[in-house]
Chains A and B, each alone.
Chain A
Amino acid sequence: MRRLRLRLRCLSGAGQQRRLREVPRPLLLLFAGALAAQLLLASATPRREAPLQDSASAATAAAAEMPQAFIEPVARAMALGDPATFSRALSLWLQNADYEPGLSLPLASLDYPRVGAWLDLQLALDAENRFPMLAALHLYGSVGERDKVRWMLEWVARHFREAPAARWRYMAEAAVKAKHKLGDLQLAYRLASELDQRTRGLPLPGWARQLHIFLKADLGEREEARALLGALIESGQITRPEELRFLSHKLAEMTAQKGDENPDEVLTNRRQSVDISPSMP
């Protein structure tokens, strides 16, 4: 312990220092006075954050100040060899861009093409950065302005096409959002249908694969939805018995509403192939 204390004294240089009382008193007073002045001045300085301004003009002005996104080569140069980290740093910055000192901006007041360009850049720097897709759906795609939500859903669709295997979940969410948030069944169907088309051969869960069929039914195009569902069952992509049973039930429902013939004929082959019977629980 004594040795440790000695070593600490050597490290801090305390052994080479005179005692504090040997320092002239005016000098100590000067130090204490300067410290007090600094504390007083600092505590009297207003904090940088001003009271929240709600005026629309202030919000619009601040929103207009969101800078243009860098072009990708410049951003890569700025990343100094760490584009993934830089991409996430940009994500953090963008996440807080609506919260400026003294001004909390509604997200909808932001310039969406500019926001989209920043999100593009983040994905270009690191395609595995999940923030841009999540933010597009759940931050910028959750505002009250329908046009801006639609703009973001289209943005998600555009980036889904670049990597369907990695981003199918976001596309499915976009389709659901189009239906429930916008009430735009046409858009929802288009997104869900594209999801199905571009992920053929990928191991997608059934709910994502069948989304476009039920949206088709919601659109009132029951005949077409019934045909799609029948084709899906026929295709052999559905292998889980309970899923197949659920879809068969839906197909039967659609057929009954249409007043059409029983779909048993369509199902017989599939039931046999996955070995299920109507008596199964």
Chain B
Amino acid sequence: MFHHIAAIARHTIRETHHGRLPWIAIGLVLLCVLMAEFIGNTALTDAEQIKAGIVGFALRWLGALLLAVFVIASQVRESEDRIIELFFSLPIRREHYFLGKLLGYLALAAYLALLAGLAAALYAPPAVALAWALGHLLELALVAGFALLVAISIGNITAATCAVAGFYMLARGIGALQLMATGPFYDADSLADRFLAAAVDYVALIVPHFDRYAPVDWLVRGEVRAVTDIPLGGSLPQAAVYLLLLCAAGLVDLRRKQL
């Protein structure tokens, strides 16, 4: 059982090498650092904070984008080239295939988070950069899981990319949406306001709160602020449960697929 999963994971990791993804990621990190140095040096004050902010902000988005595009493109190509059918013609269970692929993508997520953490450590204390990188890893793990799920379910690069982008932006902004829905202009007597606030709260139940996973504020301030925001305290159980949910949904969908 496990050797099937490990073999498929290794195959997926090899695929990232063939796609020059490690080098692309290093290039992007260097580009972000150079951009941060350039913009930071034009600032009148708070140059280090500005650099940390730019690096963290850009790498968070780029990491998620790179990972999602790779997962979706890889899965859709496997589907179109009938490689999935080839896998399933072998004595491999569909669950093993799914978990193997997910494990490979999680390895890629760990690599991206490591690079981002190293870049962040240039501008923030190492402990803060480590906590931020862990939070970023959890975020990337869920992006990989969701991208795998929609790539298998939808099987179309454009639609799947849009779905992942929507999911990521919603997860990043859900905290702000909740605040806005009950912000200073919230009228408790208005039915529409109450409905909107409740709707946002319900949506918040089914999306992970990426806004708490790896806030760039940590790097800018040089400290991990609230205890509940520490990934290993608050976000890790949520990410674990959510990854389990994505796996279950992906496996149900894969089981239903008629090849």
Q: A31-B249, A38-B242, A42-B205 are in contact. Are A18 and B255 (CB under 8 A)?
A: yes
Which residue in B46, B154, B182, B255 is a CB contact (below 8 Å) of A49?
B182
CB closest residue in chain A, given B178: A47
Q: How far is the CB of A55 from chain B (nearest CB, A)?
A: 17
Residues of A in contact (CB 8 Å), total: 38
Q: Which A residues are CB-close (under 8 A) to B242?
A: 38
List residues of chain B with CB within 8 A of the CB of A49.
178-179, 182
Contact A34 B241 (CB under 8 A): yes
Q: Mark A57-92, 1 if CB is under 8 A from B, else 0.
A: 000000000011011011001000000000000000
Closest residue of chain B to A16, judged by CB?
A: B258
* Chain B residue nearest in CB terms to A28: B252
Which one of A27, A48, A70 lies within 8 Å of B179 (CB-CB)? A48
**Is B257 an interface residue, CB under 8 A from the partner?**
yes
A101 within 8 A of B: yes
* Contact between chains at A73 and B42 (CB < 8 Å): yes
Chain A residues with Cβ below 8 Å from B212 are 48
A-B contact pairs, 19 of them (CB 8 A): A13-B154, A13-B155, A16-B257, A17-B256, A20-B256, A27-B248, A27-B252, A31-B245, A31-B251, A31-B252, A34-B241, A37-B245, A48-B212, A49-B179, A49-B182, A68-B44, A70-B43, A74-B42, A99-B184
Q: What 6 pairs between A and B have smallest CB-CB spacing?
A: A31-B248, A34-B245, A34-B244, A42-B205, A17-B256, A23-B255
- Beyond known contacts A13-B154, A17-B258, A48-B211: 17 more, CB 8 A cutoff: A16-B257, A16-B258, A18-B257, A19-B256, A22-B255, A27-B95, A27-B248, A30-B248, A30-B251, A31-B251, A35-B248, A37-B241, A39-B205, A45-B234, A48-B175, A71-B42, A71-B44
Chain A contacts to B: CB under 8 angstroms: 13, 16-20, 22-24, 27-28, 30-31, 33-35, 37-39, 41-43, 45-49, 67-68, 70-71, 73-74, 77, 96, 99, 101, 104
Q: Which residues of B contact A (CB under 8 A)?
A: 39, 42-46, 95, 153-155, 175, 178-179, 182-184, 204-206, 209, 211-212, 228, 234, 237-238, 241-242, 244-245, 247-249, 251-252, 255-258
